[in-house]
Amino acid sequence: MATAAATTRAVGRDVAAPALARTRRPRASLTFYLFLLPSLLLFTLAITLPAVMGITLSFTNSVGFGEFQFTGLTNYVALFSDPAIRASYAFTIGFALVTVVLVNIVAFLLAVGLTAKIRAKVALRAVFVLPMVISGIVIAYVFNFLFSNSLPQLGQAVGITALETSLLANPNLAWVTIVIVTAWQAIPSALLIYIAGILSIPGEVYEAASMDGATAARRLFSITLPLVAGYVVINMVIGFKNYLNAYDIIVGLTNGGPGTSTRSIAMTIFSGFTGGDYAYQMANATIFFLIAVVLAVLQLRLTRGRSAF
Amino acid sequence: MTAQTLLTTTPGQVPVRRRRRFGASGDRPSWGATITLVVCSLAVFVPLYATLTMAFKTTAQSVDGQVFSLPSPLSVDGFVQAWNLTNFPRGFAISVFVTAVTVVGTVMLAAFAAYAIARNWDRPLFRWSFFYLLAAMFLPFPVLALSQVKLTGMVGLANPVGVAILHVMFQLSFSVLLFTAFIRGLPEELEESARLDGASTWMVFRHVVFPMMAPMSATVAIFAFLASWNDFMMPSLITANSTLQTLPVLQNIFQTQFSSNYNVAFASYLMAMAPAIIVYLFTQRWVMAGVTQGAIK
């Protein structure tokens, strides 16, 4: 009985085993294991452990130190009815949506321009990519000055009353400044992806269209746009995912204000360090993590056909 | 399955073909498009121009907040004061330390792991390690921050060393992905012939594979550099002692002390952003190629 079962299993394994398995080297060299070990070890300590710890603590009433009890879903239930948390999610998601649309429109148009027959193409590309290498918080401080001094001066000079007071002090418009600075910094990477997308379109397609008398605008909307649609999707998902982490630029511009009108999700999570609601913000971080997972899965699915990320 | 398709692709290059796309008829470059783009590029230049002019003004001149006026007289007072006030040399040294550890650590760890994974893809341990390491792409820093700050504090890493380690960890996923795809595209024959000549796995890696990975190492290194040099979020939360902070965090710490000495503030901003701009000027090609590979490959 036992022998029969063992035989069946052995046969089953034999059939299932791919041809590769029988011809491969019997053991991987020890060096390969040593190559992999440091990454796995550090990763487990620095990423996996905090993740498990955070999710576990989100079900407790820990204040960050001392004893704590498991409180089940209490934190999560409280989160969903907390107006401050809701406001931070509404602000962050709204900001990310507006930014992703603005970034993609501008980046696409710039990419069309930068792949056209123009002068100083290399220099212009280098200029438009430059904002990518500048620290978010530092450039946010520069813009902070422009928004609170230069723009009001300009507003006074040309007589636009809406601009005479600083946008940063206006609870209804302060978010616009965050969109502008985030876009300023995020356009380069979207732009480079669009340039690659446009250059992957065979030139013959345009030549054929030109021969059929298609105008430049027609070629843009009937050839370029449909053929880079996949890149639009990639840019949208990657961008949205990044903008949800908004923190540095907001610190430099409004620091969450005026009031709490521009507090991002990251900012509310970090308030767990001081507010005594450590476990509560762990629960907030866990929800945020689930959103990040959904977006990452979406990104993987959307880019699978194109190979990787 | 996903990973198979993902890994069998050869490393890509940014297409360099230059063909006529829009606008201009014939082969002549379009002046209209060029001028439009030059005007648009002002959006990039205005904040940088403002930084430059403000930094070289005297405090008396900078107080009026006119960013577009040229400095008169040209003054380096702002730099001198910012240098002393923020203790720039120390901040710079700490930023360089964190960034250097991040760059070297990322390239080494990711190259080792990716080589082991790519050449042992048929072994489950290596295959699953790949997906395991990739999982950090799902985990933005804010999600882990609360626990990481607590843990780094407990083990005595609430300092630039801890920041550098975390920077490496957050760069690892993306870098292992890029390296693995790249190594799968390298011919194995060279490695086999080296092995037949008696080279060990380490020697094959050191003398055959790693040199061939140079272009991808450059891309990985530049991304690690930019992420680490410019980061504010992680050092500001992880490093407990404010005298051990990196340059971006120092701008935040001294924001109130700059008060209305705008020339000092802008000189300080300029000194914080200049190194990244200088590195970019020399490495544009790899920066541009890297973004495309990271997103599409």
Q: Count other Cβ atoms within 10 Å, centred on residue A1.
A: 5
**Number of domains forming the structure of chain A:** 1
Q: Positive or negative, the Cα torsion across B34, B38, B39, B40?
A: positive
Structural contact between residues A251 and A137, judged by C-beta atoms closer than 8 angstroms: yes
Predicted confidence (pLDDT) at residue A216 exceeds the cutoff of 90: no
A23 falls within a domain? no
Residue B21: is its pLDDT beyond 80? no
Of the candidate ranges A39-48, A165-174, B89-98, B231-240, the one whose mean pLDDT is the lowest = A165-174
List the structure tokens of A251.
């610190």
Residue A109: closest C-alpha in chain B:
B37
Q: Are residues B200 and A300, on separate chains, in Cβ contact within 8 Å?
A: no
* A69 vs B: CB within 8 A: no
Q: Look-up: residue for tokens 């085993």?
A: A17
Judged by a CB distance cut-off of 8 A, whether residue A85 touches chain B is no
Residue A185 has pLDDT above 50, yes or no: yes
Q: Is B172 exposed, middle or buried (0-12, 13-18, 19+ CB in 10 A)?
A: buried
Verify whether the Cβ–Cβ distance B169 to A46 is below 8 Å: yes
Give yes or no for residue A289 having a pLDDT over 50. yes
Measured between beta carbons, the chain A residues lying within 8 angstroms of B20 are 116-117, 203, 206
pLDDT average, residue stretch A80-86 = 92
Torsion angles phi and psi, residue A276, rounded to 5: 80, -5
* Per-residue pLDDT at A221 exceeds 90: no
Residue ranges of A 18-47 with Cβ closer than 8 A to chain B: 20-21, 24, 28-29, 31-33, 35-36, 38-40, 42-43, 46-47
Q: Measured between CB atoms, does B282 come within 8 Å of chain A?
A: no
* CATH 1.10.3720.10, chain B: domain bounds: 86-296
Contact assessment for residue B74 and residue B56, using Cβ atoms and an 8 Å cutoff: yes
Strands of B119-193, DSSP E: none
Q: Helix B124-134 to helix B88-119 angle, to the nearest 10 degrees?
A: 150
Nearest CA to A152 out of A171, A139, A169 is that of: A169
The predicted-structure confidence for B209-219, as pLDDT tens digits, reads as follows 999 999 899 98
B45 touches chain A (CB under 8 A): yes
The pLDDT value given to residue A261: 92
Find the mean pLDDT for residues B118-126: 93
Cross-chain Cβ contact A128/B176 below 8 Å: no
Please tell me the predicted confidence (pLDDT) of residue A158.
87
A7, B30, B33, B121 from A114: Cα distances, Å: 67, 11, 9, 40
Q: Does B202 touch chain A (CB under 8 A)?
A: yes
Choose the closest CB to B144 out of A31, A47, A57.
A47
Over residues A186-215, the mean pLDDT reads 89
Sort residue B87 into left (φ over 0), alpha (ψ -120 to 50) or beta.
left
Would the CB atoms of B266 and A24 count as touching at under 8 Å? no
Contact status of A220 with chain B (Cβ, < 8 Å): yes
Q: Do B284 and A39 touch (CB under 8 A)?
A: no
pLDDT tens figures, A31-51: 999 999 999 999 999 999 999
β partners of residue A70: A60
Q: What is the mean pLDDT of residues A149-162?
A: 86
Q: Does A182 touch chain B (CB under 8 A)?
A: no
Confidence band, pLDDT 50/70/90 cuts, at residue A11 = very low
φ/ψ (deg, to 5) at B36: -55, -45
How many CA atoms, within 13 angstroms, populate the side-chain half-sphere of residue B88? Answer: 18
Per-residue pLDDT at A4 exceeds 60: no
Query: Which two structure tokens, joined as six digits, stand for A271?
Result: 């308030």
Q: What is the pLDDT of residues B37-53, one digit of tens each?
A: 999 999 999 999 999 99
Nearest by CB: A133 against B37, B231, B277:
B277
pLDDT band at A304 (very low <50, low <70, confident <90, very high): low
In this predicted model, what pLDDT tens digit does every residue of B93-116 receive, in sequence order?
A: 999 999 999 999 999 999 999 999
**Given pLDDT bands bounded at 50, 70 and 90, which one contains residue B260?**
confident
Residue A113 belongs to a domain? yes
pLDDT reading at B138 higher than 70: yes
- Please write the tens of the pLDDT for every residue from A224-271: 988 898 889 888 988 998 999 999 999 999 999 898 999 999 999 998
Question: Does residue B19 have a pLDDT over 60?
Answer: no
Q: A264-288: string of b/e by CB count within 10 Å (b at 16+)?
A: bbbbbbbbbbeeebbbbbbbbbbbb
In a domain, A53, yes or no: no
Please choose, from the candidates B54, B49, B274, B279, the residue with its C-alpha nearest in 3D space to the C-alpha of residue A138: B274
| Six token digits for residue A274 | 């001081």
- CA B153 vs. chain centroid, Å, equals 26
CB contact under 8 A, B54 and A145: yes
| Residue A59, domain member (yes or no) | no
Alpha helices in A146-202 (DSSP H): 151-158, 161-164, 174-199
Instruction: Give A17's DSSP letter.
Output: S
> What is the helix (H) or strand (E) element at residue B212, kind and residue range?
helix B210-212
CB-CB neighbours of A81 under 10 Å: 8
pLDDT for position A162:
78
Residue A153, chain B, CB below 8 Å: the answer is: yes
* A67-81, A170-184, B155-169: least confident range: A67-81
Beta-bridge partner residues of A60: A70
Do the domain assignments include residue A120? Answer: yes
- The pLDDT, as a whole number, for residue B295 is 62
Q: Quick check: B291 pLDDT over 80?
A: no
Q: How many CB atoms lie within 10 A of CB A65?
A: 8
Residue A293 CB-density burial (10 A; 0-12 exposed, 13-18 middle, 19+ buried): middle
The conformation of residue A304, written as its DSSP 8-state character, comes to G
Summarize the confidence of residues B195-201 as an average pLDDT: 90
* pLDDT of the residue at A204: 87
Per-residue pLDDT band at B228 (split at 50, 70, 90) = very high
Tell which of A23, A27, A34, A36 to mutate to test the B interface (max B CBs under 10 Å): A36
The answer to whether residue A5 scores a pLDDT higher than 60 is no
* CA–CA–CA angle A145, A150, A154 (5° rounding): 160
- Which residues of chain B does A114 touch, with a Cβ-Cβ cutoff of 8 Å? 37
Say yes or no to pLDDT of A179 above 90: yes
**Structure confidence at residue A1 as a pLDDT band (50, 70, 90):** very low
81-110 in chain B: CB under 8 A from chain A: 109-110
pLDDT at A18 over 60: no
Q: Is A256 on the interface with B (CB under 8 A)?
A: no
Share of chain B above pLDDT 90, in %: 61
Angle at CA of residue A158, ends A152 and A160, nearest 5°: 65
End-to-end CA distance of chain B: 16
Confidence band for B258, pLDDT divided at 50, 70 and 90: confident
Test A38 with B112 for CB contact under 8 angstroms.
yes
> Could you list the residue range(s) of the whole structural domain that residue A186 is in?
77-306
Mean pLDDT over all residues of chain A? Answer: 85
- More confidently predicted of A187 and A4: A187
Contact between B252 and A203 using a beta-carbon 8 Å cutoff: no
In CATH, what number is assigned to the domain containing residue A161? 1.10.3720.10
End-to-end CA distance of chain A: 50
The CATH homologous superfamily for domain B86-296 is MetI-like (1.10.3720.10)
Give the pLDDT band (50/70/90) at residue B249: very high
Chain A residues with CB under 8 Å of B181 CB are 308
pLDDT of residue B16: 44
A20 with B122: Cβ contact below 8 A? yes
Q: Which of A36, A224, A304 sits opposite B126 (nearest CB)?
A: A36
Partner-chain contact A273 B237, CB within 8 Å: yes
pLDDT band for position A307 (cuts 50, 70, 90): very low
A293 pLDDT more than 80: yes
> Quick one: pLDDT at residue A17?
43
Distance CA A244, CA A105 (A): 19
